[in-house]
Structure 1
Amino acid sequence: MFTLYHHGSSVCAAKVRFAMAQKGLEWEGVYIDILKGDQFDPEYVKLNPKAVVPTLVHDGTVIVDSTVICEYLDKILPDLNPMHPSDPWEYAQARYWTKAVDEDLHPACAALTFVCSHRHTVLKNLGEEGMKNFLASTPPISVTSDWKAKKDIFTRYGFEAPEAVDKIKLYDSYLWKMEKALETGNDWLVGNEFSIADIAMAPYVNRCAMLSLSGMWTNGRMPNLEKWFSRVSALPNFKTCLLDWVPEDLTSDLRENGAKSWPEVAKILDIVSRN
């Protein structure tokens, strides 16, 4: 039996939901509201010491880290809709994408999301004192080894936080990497087959879309990425895995806060107009 501890807007949880749907796996869910601090419950921290989602429990075995979870699923069920390419070179290319997510893109996404939206949502839901407790509860080692301090700074200072601009530019650079990879005319990122590379990157492009930041690739800026995202969005499992789990109020927060943040993001990226 698979039990997935997850949250609607978590890009890492969305990746695992997407992967499990690709494998055709059924699972039971335990919803962890990471914007209200459910992840800091001592019983959950026993499962995931970093106090993040997702966490997969498979017949009593605990697996953490979304990339590792996806690799685990392909190892235990190698013949069931495999996500990793069988060709060694293509496997390596797919791993470059998942490695990039873990090393660069996910920390940049955490920064972008808090700067543009979550900082406002946490304050709205918890109030000033609750937000202080929320920030203080983050373990010293979480999303990154310095995320506790970084989350505090991004939440308190938004676009004025040190590194905020650099993280947004880093995020944009990975969208450009996708644009370049798709210049071959292939539908997908690796070997022209839908793979873990596409599963891994989809939640991060979707995060920008949910934040009303699709101007990062639309209007001719990244036409290949725009077409790729249209293909991904049309897949049967996309909506159920990446959109439907996000509560309506959080979807509204992401959309509205992101729209207010768009002019600042566009300025940082030197995007003159989204029209």
Structure 2
Amino acid sequence: MAEKGVKVFGMWASPIAIRVEWALRLKGVEYEYIDEDLTDKSDALLRYNPVTKKVPVLVHDGKPIAESTIIVEYIDETWKDGYPIMPADPYERAQARFWARFAEEKSWMQQTILMAGLDMYTLQCNPALYPAFTTTGEAQHKVVQEAQQCLKTLETALDGKKFFGGDAVGYLDVVVGWYAHWLPVIEEVSGASVVTDEDLPLLKAWFDRFLAVDVVKATLPARDRLLAFNKARREQLLSA
């Protein structure tokens, strides 16, 4: 008999894998969650994603889909009658994808957090991104300024709206939503201060609104555990 149902292969500290859970919960789709040890990946993960061997992976009726943004769009298209994640208007969909791509490709901060907490052995990152998490002083200050400029550009997509999706959470909120929970942890661990009321007021206010959404709150890892995890990872990187 063919495998039925929905499975998500993730990692509890991953700010990227959680996107898949948010999308499924917004749609009201039941799923089985499998937490991976990225230092000892399961045979199932390697079988379902032999190309990149990374999380997240969505398995729907035995068919695997990899890469978080692709998975989120697949979820929206597959469960059409549920909560709308992508905008209905083609132009607005294109804009959401544009900003998502901008956040994925331009936000070196995302890469820094990935380096800090995820699969160092399969992730290729620009070495110039290390200072935000692994250094202090002037080097870190320069990197933080670059991050703020990137986020100020992204913040323009929030102008006049509660969420990036408008009055409700949408595709771009799902893609960049991890900023709201993970970035304050990284700021505390590294001593950096990136998103403030003074420098990025719209984004800071969005943090609070996004974290108050029920499906978001239900899936967030405990802050204390995430803090300890990233402290240990930073110490490991600093001593390397």
Instruction: Output the TM-score relative to the length of structure 1.
Output: 0.69
Counterpart position of 1:52: 54
Superposition map of 1:191-202 within 5 A: 191-202=166-177
Partner of 1:175: 151
Query: What residue in structure 2 maps to residue 104 of structure 1?
Result: 106
Residue 11 of structure 1 pairs with residue 15 of structure 2: yes
Taking the aligned partners of 1:113 and 1:91, their CA distance within structure 2 comes to 27
CA distance in 2, matches of 1:65, 1:257: 24
Is the 8 Å Cα contact of residues 112 and 164 (structure 1) preserved in structure 2?
no
Partner of 2:64: helix, strand, or coil?
strand
Structure 1: distance between partners of 2:104 and 2:68? 9
- From the superposition, tell whether residues 26 and 102 of structure 1 become closer, same or farther in structure 2 (CA, over 3 Å): same
**In structure 2, what residue type is equivalent to 1:81?**
Y
Matched AA of 2:202: N
Q: Distance in 1 between matches of 2:232 and 2:156?
A: 30
Task: State the structure with bigger RCO (CA 8 A, min sep 6), 1 or 2.
Answer: 1
Match of 1:159 in 2: 135
Does 1:227 find its partner at 2:227?
A: no
In 2, are the aligned partners of 1:210 and 1:255 still within 8 Å (CA)?
A: no
Q: 1:191 to 1:87 in 2, by over 3 A?
A: farther
Identity %: 25
Structure 1 residues 165, 43: CA separation in 2 closer, same or farther (over 3 Å shift)? farther
Amino acid at match of 1:97: W
**CA RMSD across the alignment:** 3.3
With over 3 angstroms needed to count, the CA separation of the structure-2 counterparts of 1:239 and 1:193, relative to structure 1, is: closer
Higher helix share: 1
Distance in 1 (CA, whole Å) between partners of 2:203 and 2:170 is: 16
> Match for 2:158: what amino acid?
L
Answer yes or no: is 1:209 the counterpart of 2:181.
no
Please tell me the residue identity of whatever aligns with 1:233.
L
Residues of 2 paired with 1:256 and 1:212: CA distance?
14
Distance in 2 (CA, whole Å) between partners of 1:47 and 1:164 is 38
Q: 1:74, 1:82 within 8 Å by CA — same for their partners in 2? A: yes
Q: Distance in 2 between matches of 1:219 and 1:256?
A: 29
Q: How has the CA–CA distance of structure 1 residues 5 and 166 changed in structure 2, closer, same or farther, with 3 Å as cutoff? A: farther
For 1:181 and 1:237, how far apart are their aligned partners in 2? 23
- Once residues 142 and 20 of structure 2 are traced to their aligned partners in structure 1, the CA distance between those partners, rounded to angstroms, is 28
Gaps (5+ residues) in structure 2? 235-240
Distance of 1:165 and 1:47 partners within structure 2 = 41
SS of 2:135's partner is helix
Which runs of 5 or more residues in structure 1 are unaligned? 123-133, 259-275
2:238 matched to which residue of 1?
none
Q: TM-score, normalised by structure 2?
A: 0.77
* Aligned counterparts of 1:90 and 1:223: Cα–Cα separation in 2: 24
- Would the alpha carbon gap of residues 212 and 27 (structure 1) be closer, same or farther in structure 2, given more than 3 Å must change? same
Alignment-derived partner of residue 217 in structure 2:
239
Classify 1:249/1:205 alpha carbon distance in 2 versus 1 (closer, same or farther; 3 Å). Answer: closer
SS for the counterpart of 1:38 is coil
User: 2:86 is matched with which residue?
Assistant: 84
Q: How many residue pairs get matched? A: 223
Q: What letter is aligned with 1:238?
A: V
* 8 A Cα contact 1:4 1:54, kept in partner: yes
